[in-house]
Structure 1
Amino acid sequence: METKDMPVGKGGQAPVRPKKVFITGANGFIGRSLLNRYQQQGCEVRGMDLQADPSMDVVAGDLTKPDTWKQHAKGCDLFINTAAVVSLAAEWETYRAISVQGVRHALDAAIAGGAKRFIHFSSIAAMGPDYEDGADETAPVTIGDTYLYGVAKGASEHAVLAAHASGEINCTIIRPGDVYGPGSRAWLIEPLKMARAGQLLLPNKGEGIFTPVYIDDLLDGTMLAAGLKEGSGQIFILWGGEPVPCRTFFGHHWRWAGKKGAPPSIPLFAALKLTHGISLLNRKLKRKGEVTPDTMLMFARKGGFSGKKASDRLGFEPKVSFDEGIRRSEVWLREQGEIA
């Protein structure tokens, strides 16, 4: 495999290249992308996921049962935790077991394995759906009995920052924007399926704000945060810097599905009532589904974020514009046979 150079910040910031990297959630969109990128840097990379992949040195396991995989992380100097509940429809017990207690298990595995840096993937959802436009890393995390995905992410950050503050291990937290690009199920494949089925619904005329970050830019920012001393003990929001109305982002899926016009929309209050009923029905029938009130709240967000901290401290600067990212995504969807 051809070795590529590490990313360099706009101010010349040059991150240290790790020798050995361990990644949880290594078969997921972000996890696999990181695995491939670090391999391209000449690093030895191992991982864990629910399903093993011996060809990529990924063993089977989950965050709730660390004894089945923690030895695989031994000797890795960089530990990256991407494993999480990727859903806005799970029960609190599931979020707590994986996104809170599971993160503590990951920290323990990293410490026992001798890792020098622990990178934790949180989410912009930790700030809830009603943050102010231009919110930065000092914005409060969300609490309460709604938007539980974000509540759990905020709680996971607490566990990581506590480990750093007590001197257990050097930690960094990444809050990605809405990550898309070739390989994305959450923001390419699944919305396309919903559009085909006529189930893609947006609140408030689709005027809510989507905050995309192209996968390659997220990888650059993560490697800068992981390899620079300026990343130690910090939270970084990494996104593309271009707020996009939801009707614009998902309008592409609507078009790819062969539909005319724009995805249907109803007022937020009506969308919340409708999706609440759908969620109750799904639970009664034990059927999975992401059409939930929390999804509608997410699609009704009112603004973007500040990227100043990542820019100033890491030299992070997104390189892929939204238009270019969508173009590349469409090419990939055609190559996969998802669209004609």
Structure 2
Amino acid sequence: MSETKPARLAIIGCGAVVQHHLLPALRRIGWRPEVLVDPSERNLAATAAIAGRSKTLIRTADWTKAAASFDAAIVAAPHALHGPIGKALIAAGKHVFMEKPLATASSDAREMLRASAERGTILSVGLLRRYLHITRWTKALIASGILGTIRQVEVREGFVFNWATSTDGLLKPGLAGGGVLMDTGAHTLDEVLWWLGDARVSRYRDDARTGVEADCLIDLDLPSGGHGLIELSRSRELPNTCRIEGSKGYVELHLYRNEVLSCSDNVRAFKSDGMGVGAFPEQRFPDLFGGELADFRKSILSGRQQGVDGAEGLRSIEMIEACYARREPLKMPWEEATLQDASVMVPPGTKVAITGATGFIGGRLAERLLEQGAEVRCLVRSMGAAVRLARLPVEIHKVDLTDAAGVSEALKDVQLVFHCAYDPRSSSHNLVGTRNLISACAALKVQRFVYTSTFSVYEPLPDGPLTEETRDGDKSWLYTRTKLELEKAVMDAVREKGLKGTIIQPTIVYGPFSRPWTIAPAEMLLYGTVVLPDRGEGLCNAVHVDDVVDAMILMTQRPEAVGERFVISGPETVTWGRFFEAFARALRIKGPEYRPAAEIARENSGLMHDIKLVARNPKKIVQIAVRVPAVRSLLQSGLDALPKPVYDLVSRAYFGDGSRPTGMVHLPDPQLLRLYTAKALVDSEKARRLIGYAPRFDFDRGMAATALYLEWAFGAQRRSSKAVLDAPAMPEATAMAAE
């Protein structure tokens, strides 16, 4: 091989990480692949389009058929295939860059290392955080002895996973090899082991029932005799920080933002390669991929390993194996507070299908039905959004609801169907998808069909009593109009096709994992200021998610429910002021502010609202634009051709730096302002009378359970911010935890 000409390159596995990150990085360093390997023609075509030279690229599903056309391979296949593919490539004399993890079994990793040494090939592993300035500086800091004997290490890393994955490779144990521990944990454990030396797993807990975990906790015994705690999550935002405490000093740093958050004075004075606290050169996420791939290429050309070698990748795999070998169930703090009502159940063995199960209502419904012994099939649009479902013993089917044949196939042998899905991007897709579900249910003689609508079909809400007989809402509002059209499709099918259908119209649904009415209020209060109109005396018809699930199950068990729609709320109505104040008390942070409604309306309407939003957070422009696939592909392929100021803006906004906008003032827009000032009193009398609906959670009890979730989801974030008040913990949460 020429000493200057790059090795002929193959990419094995052409999914999202290749298309979004590795290919653009290869373009930046001037190394183009000769061979693309993937079983999916769609992935091959998309990757070839980004790579360019599509006419000369070899595209195949089997790398062995193109083995004579490449010398080196980047492997980005599902995790469980890393070992088998890596061993075969090395046996064929190929240089290998393995995306993390090196393998899912340490035996495979050791075999790759042995074979690579015997054949004299390069084996590198994609642990790109080793290229971060903060990672290397921390390594030097600990080695210097400035911290003294390490006594305590705490690492908390998490984000809500919604990666645009093209397959279910990250969700199935047989392909992924594990969940957040095997994925994110490969990076996190590598950093800790590189910094501190070999540590021993003393305890491991995760939330997987039969699938792959979304959350886990690791306790470590450190070589110094100290204790380590690592918390990883795919279901919530964590601070993404590491705090290291020694006998002589401490440091707390962000895991990938090149930022020291706090430290002792002796650490503040420490420098390594000219870098120190407040003096790290700027780095972008794409630079890290470019760095590791450039080192792989240099290793091949020189015959000497540069970058992260396979032996380094083995250490984290051995620790991951040790974790899984001593797995204990991770119990969530709110679970006992939300034990289900044994009188609201489906018969064991009932076959159920749920659309929209990646949402919090559908997801909670799946959990409850599994506890009752049902067989649950989840129809999802995005596999990347299904990480919490992947913990459970459910069938996950990726289904486009606009594909009638696919819908019919997915509903075979099903007895009950719960339609919880809603696609905010297209009202026509919602209509077509719902009609396809209705037709399939009618043709397959499904026993019951429950459609999840909303009480927003009555918006703007009238003051006074609100029931199923209340007039329709404003059809000029797209969401209201679409939901009314979907309800009509269900009722028409009941009359004309014999569909045994029911419509549920939940109100303000809160509880664990509720994005609109639990996560969003918490984030707005934690990172900004919530403004409510007047004195917050508008009425909030709040209902706990478990009461909604009770109602949904009852609708499948009571014949009186067929052909009816039910508005479902909690047993009491509270004010919006009380609603937000309860969240603030649970989080122990500042509550909402109050302004006259007329003042809010003047300040926050129409175009001016959008201008202010973008002015406060310019990233919104790019983040909104890249939701369009054509724009995203254009940016991925043409990023390097952009002028530097534009390149910096796009890469900062698209790839991000892990930071979150703070200090925002959340003024209600005109539609939300009408909701906050309305004084509607929702009455669920019809549901009580016909199906025996009996809500179990008044607001105090519901918020006590929710407070336990909020502390789990946001406690670490609150402690890492300056938002903490001296307010006592919410008394209801303490009482509930003791029950």
Q: For residue 19 of structure 1, what is the aligned residue in structure 2?
A: 350
What SS does the corresponding residue of 1:192 show, helix, strand or coil? helix
Q: Which moved more, 1:56-65 or 1:215-224?
A: 56-65
In structure 2, give the amino acid aligned to 1:325: G
Q: Distance in 1 between matches of 2:340 and 2:708?
A: 26
Q: 2:467 aligns with which of 136, 141, 151?
A: 136
* Partner of residue 230, structure 2: none
Change (3 A) 1:324 1:49: same
1:310 to 2:648 alignment: no
Distance in 1 (CA, whole Å) between partners of 2:554 and 2:362 is 16
Deviates most, 46-55 or 240-249 = 46-55
Comparing 284-293 with 189-198, greater Cα deviation is found at 284-293
Instruction: Note the alpha carbon deviations across 1:70-127, whole angstroms, 9 max, x for none.
Output: 4121110111100014xxxx6xxx3522443332222123234431211000001111
SS at match of 1:205: coil
Q: What's the offset of the Cα at 1:233?
A: 0.4
- Bigger mean CA deviation after superposition, 229-238 or 213-222: 213-222
Q: Does the aligned pair in 1 maintain the 2:583–2:707 contact within 8 Å?
A: no
2:369 to 27, 38, 50: 38
* Contact 1:241/1:305, CA 8 A, preserved across alignment: no
Match of residue 328 from structure 1: 705
The residue number in structure 2 matching 1:296 is 673
The answer to whether the Cα contact below 8 Å between 1:278 and 1:292 also exists between their aligned partners in 2 is: no
Instruction: Give the counterpart letter for 2:413 in structure 1.
Output: G
Distance 1:279 1:73 in 2: 44
Question: 2-side partners of 1:26 and 1:43: how far apart?
Answer: 15
Alpha-carbon distance, 1:211 to partner:
0.9
Residue equivalent to 1:265? 594
2:497 aligned residue (167, 170, 179)? 167
2:534 to 200, 204, 210: 204
Q: What is residue 399 of structure 2 aligned with on the other side?
A: 61
State the 1:166 CA deviation: 0.7
Map 1:132-281; keep pairs closer than 5 Å.
132-146=463-477, 148-256=478-586, 258-260=588-590, 262-273=591-602, 274-277=604-607, 280-281=610-611
Distance 2:412 2:341 in 1: 24
Shift of 1:226: 1.4
SS state at 1:221 partner: helix
* 1:317 partner SS: coil
SS in 1 for 2:528: coil
Specify the SS of the correspondent of 1:220: helix
Please report how far the alpha carbon of residue 63 of structure 1 lies from its aligned counterpart in structure 2 after TM superposition. Answer: 3.2
8 A Cα contact 1:126 1:151, kept in partner:
yes
Give the match for residue 117 of structure 1.
448
Equivalent residues, number: 325
Give the C-alpha shift of residue 140 in structure 1: 1.5
Question: 2-side partners of 1:39 and 1:65: how far apart?
Answer: 27
Distance in 2, Cα, partners of 1:300 & 1:247: 11
Instruction: Check whether the contact 1:16–1:227 (CA below 8 A) recurs between aligned residues.
Output: no
The match for 2:418 is: 80
The unaligned stretches of length 5 or more in structure 1 are none
Alpha-carbon contact 2:355-2:380 (below 8 Å) kept: yes
CA distance in 1, matches of 2:609, 2:402: 26
The structural deviation recorded for 1:190 is 1.2
Rate the CA distance shift 1:17–1:135 in 2: closer, same or farther, 3 A: farther
Which of these two proteins has the greater Rg computed from alpha carbons?
A: 2
The one-letter code matched in structure 2 to 1:83 is: A
What is aligned with 2:621?
A: 285
CA distance in 1, matches of 2:517, 2:606: 22
Distance between the aligned counterparts of 1:31 and 1:140, measured in 2? 28
Q: Who is 2:301 aligned against?
A: none
**TM superposition shift of 1:257:** 5.0
Q: SS of the counterpart of 1:174?
A: strand
> Aligned residue for 2:280?
none
For the 8 Å contact 2:487–2:503, the answer to whether it is kept is yes
1:319 pairs with 2:655: no
Q: How many Å separate the matches in 1 of 2:402 and 2:593? A: 40
| CA positional deviation for 1:292 | 3.4
Q: Which structure is higher in strand share?
A: 2
Structure 1 pair 153/7, CA: closer, same or farther in 2 (3 Å)?
A: farther
TM-score normalized by the length of structure 2: 0.41
Rounded to whole Å, the distance in 2 between the matches of 1:331 and 1:176 is 23
SS across alignment from 2:546 = helix
Q: Compare relative contact order (CA 8 Å, sep 6+) and give the higher one, 1 or 2.
A: 1
Kindly indicate whether the alpha-carbon contact (under 8 Å) linking 1:60 and 1:69 is maintained by their aligned counterparts in 2.
no
8 Å contact kept, 1:26–1:35: yes
State the secondary structure of the residue aligned to 1:183.
coil
Cα distance in 2 for partners of 1:318, 1:166 equals 33
Q: Contact (CA 8 Å) 2:347, 2:372: kept in 1 or not?
A: no
Which has the higher mean CA deviation after the structures are superposed, 284-293 or 128-137?
284-293
1:135 corresponds to which letter in structure 2? L
Quickly say closer, same or farther: Cα 1:279–1:144, change in 2 above 3 A.
Answer: farther
